[in-house]
């Protein structure tokens, strides 16, 4: 790995110091999809700063660019233009291997469709996120067991996901996302496939993670879910705007109408 030391980023504002609590800073991010001759601008001129321990929800109508933003935040995709500092490090122009390394060690994902391996046990599904980052087998099992405990599923460790309910599956996915102790937890509609009752259990889990100090960015359609976060940002036609606390209720109501 050829990650440049954070100390080299000392150009004033963006320098990474011990006291800097900004997990990520997006500055003028653009992402344009090119299909044949057609150019689709999915994100344009996005500015966003997320601080350590913040719980941010991203709301917006379908096709507005929410998933695109999450992919860029998660280093799964690279922006066409702009700068992205993650933990003080410019990651927008990192090569594939280095992005993979940062992603594997520092970012956890929860997907709408769970993405569990159906033939592997719950425990193996959780240990999977430490498989490529150098932890030994014993340590992996120990940490995975602890993570399953914290989502209340230690007693299901040897089950395969096919025998779990939807809510339990998503909690396994959360355990997998947090087991490597990431700096950032990204969730794309984590309750999209769940009914309202099981959704509550999963959302309660996110609340608990936030109180433990985890930084969370969550995409959602649902107004009531967005209101659980400290802060909401809204995307419309690829443009991102802050929703201030006073406007929250109104914004939430508006999102409700948009759906």
Pick from ligand ATP, Mg ion, other proteins, none: which does 111 bind, CB < 5 to 8 A by kind?
other proteins
Pick left, alpha or beta for residue 46 (phi over 0 → left; psi -120 to 50 → alpha; otherwise beta): beta
255 membership: H or E segment, kind and range: helix 248-258
In the chain, the largest separation of any two C-alpha atoms, in whole Å, equals 54
Our finding on whether 87 is near other proteins (CB under 8 A) is no
Pick from ligand ATP, Mg ion, other proteins, none: which does 96 bind, CB < 5 to 8 A by kind?
other proteins
The secondary structure of 12-69 as a DSSP string is GGG---TT--EEEEEEEEEEEEEETTEEEEEEEEEEEEEETT-EEEEE--TTSSHHHH
Intra-chain end-to-end CA distance of the chain, in Å: 44
Kindly report the number of other CB atoms within 10 A of residue 96's CB atom: 9
Taking CB under 6 A as the rule, which mask of x and - marks residues 47-66 in contact with ligand ATP?
-------------x-xxxxx
Kindly report the number of other CB atoms within 10 A of residue 242's CB atom: 13
As to burial, measured by CB atoms within 10 angstroms (0-12 exposed, 13-18 middle, 19+ buried), residue 193 is middle
Taking CB under 6 A as the rule, which mask of x and - marks residues 21-40 in contact with ligand ATP?
------------x-x----x
Q: Which of residues 52-71 bind Mg ion (CB under 5 A)?
A: 67
Our finding on whether 113 is near other proteins (CB under 8 A) is yes
Q: Judged by CB under 8 A, which of 10, 132, 165, 236 binds other proteins? A: 132
Is residue 193 a contact partner of residue 222, using CB atoms and an 8 Å limit? Answer: no
Q: Which of residues 150-169 bind ligand ATP (CB under 6 A)?
A: none
Q: How many residues does the chain have?
A: 259
User: Angle at Cα 191 formed by Cα 197 and Cα 196, nearest 5°?
Assistant: 20
Our finding on whether 170 is near ligand ATP (CB under 6 A) is no
Pick 151 or 232: Cβ nearer other proteins? 151
Our finding on whether 119 is near other proteins (CB under 8 A) is yes
Our finding on whether 96 is near other proteins (CB under 8 A) is yes
Pick 72 or 91: Cβ nearer ligand ATP? 72
> Locate tokens 């036609």: which residue?
237
Residues 69, 74: Cα–Cα separation, whole Å: 9
Our finding on whether 109 is near other proteins (CB under 8 A) is yes
Shortest Å, Cβ 67 to Mg ion: 3
Binding residues for Mg ion (CB under 5 A):
67
Binding residues for other proteins (CB under 8 A):
71, 74, 76-77, 96-97, 100-101, 103-105, 109, 111, 113-115, 117, 119-120, 124, 128-129, 131-133, 137, 176, 180
Binding residues for ligand ATP (CB under 6 A):
33, 35, 40, 42, 60, 62-68
């Amino acid at each position: 790995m050829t990650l440049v030391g954070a100390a080299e980023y000392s150009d004033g504002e963006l320098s990474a110091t011990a006291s800097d609590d900004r997990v990520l800073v997006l500055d003028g991010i653009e992402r344009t999809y090119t299909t044949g001759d057609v150019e689709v601008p999915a994100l344009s001129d996005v500015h966003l700063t997320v601080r350590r321990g913040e719980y941010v929800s991203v709301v917006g109508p379908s096709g507005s660019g929410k998933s695109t933003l999450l992919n860029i935040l998660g280093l799964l995709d690279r922006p066409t233009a702009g700068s992205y500092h993650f933990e003080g490090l410019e990651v927008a122009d990192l090569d594939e291997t280095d992005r993979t390394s940062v992603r594997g060690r520092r970012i956890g994902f929860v997907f709408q469709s769970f993405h569990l391996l159906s033939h592997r046990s719950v425990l193996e599904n959780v240990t999977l996120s430490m498989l490529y980052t150098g932890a030994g087998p014993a340590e992996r099992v120990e940490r995975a067991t602890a993570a399953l405990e914290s989502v209340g599923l230690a007693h299901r460790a040897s089950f395969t996901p096919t025998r779990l309910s939807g809510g339990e599956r998503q909690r396994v996915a959360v355990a997998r996302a947090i087991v490597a102790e990431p700096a950032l937890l990204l969730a794309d509609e984590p309750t999209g496939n769940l009914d309202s009752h099981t959704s509550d259990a999963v959302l309660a889990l996110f609340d608990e993670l936030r109180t433990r100090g985890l930084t969370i960015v969550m995409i959602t359609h649902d107004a009531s879910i967005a209101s659980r976060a400290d802060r909401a940002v809204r995307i419309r036609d690829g443009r991102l705007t802050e929703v201030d606390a006073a406007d929250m209720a109104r914004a939430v109501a508006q999102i409700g109408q948009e759906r």
